[in-house]
Amino acid sequence: MTITRRTAVAALAALPLASQAAPEQKEATPMYGLIGKMRAQPGQRDALIAILLEGTGGMPGCLGYDIAKDLKDADAIWITETWDSQASHKASLALPAVQAAIAKGRPLIAGFGERFETEPVGGHRTMSKRSA
């Protein structure tokens, strides 16, 4: 009996899918994200941005920390954070550099706006680190 390509393909297609199941995987801890609006004291937005950028580098578990100027409000900024977990974000608040940035920036903050917690699921980075 000659086995043709068509016969071989049909035989492979008839194999049960269970034999090709993916190995069992552990459920990963979901990533954690924050998006928030901060208002600087009038005319102090750039100074506040500089403090935030200076005091937030090298945070363990931080996958992204982006600051953007609000185009409609000259004193407002948006901060978008992506973390490997909510626990990493919480731990970052105790870091000496973060504590120093909070203390230094506090007098320049006029208030806070919207705040959203998210669960990031993917994407890509489009910015390199650069000063504002």
pLDDT, mean of residues 15-22: 50
40 phi-psi bin (left φ>0, alpha ψ -120 to 50, beta other): beta
Q: Residue 123's pLDDT band (boundaries 50, 70, 90)?
A: confident
Give the chain's length. 132
pLDDT at 93: 92
Cα 66 to Cα 81: distance, rounded to the nearest angstrom: 6
Domains in the chain: ranges and CATH: 32-118 (3.30.70.100)
* pLDDT above 90 coverage of the chain, percent: 62
pLDDT at 23: 52
pLDDT at 72: 97
Mean confidence (pLDDT) of the chain: 83
Digit-coded pLDDT (tens) for 51-94: 999 877 789 999 999 999 999 999 999 999 999 999 999 999 99
Higher-confidence residue of 130 and 77: namely 77
Higher-confidence residue of 69 and 29: namely 69
Structure tokens, 72: 């409609």
Structure tokens, 46: 């750039």
Q: What is the amino acid identity at position 71?
A: L
pTM above 0.75, yes or no: no
Select from 59, 47, 50, 107 the least CA-distant residue to 83.
59
Cα 88 to Cα 29: distance, rounded to the nearest angstrom: 11
Q: Residue 29's pLDDT band (boundaries 50, 70, 90)?
A: confident
φ, ψ of residue 11 to 5 degrees: the values are: -65, -40
Higher-confidence residue of 41 and 7: namely 41
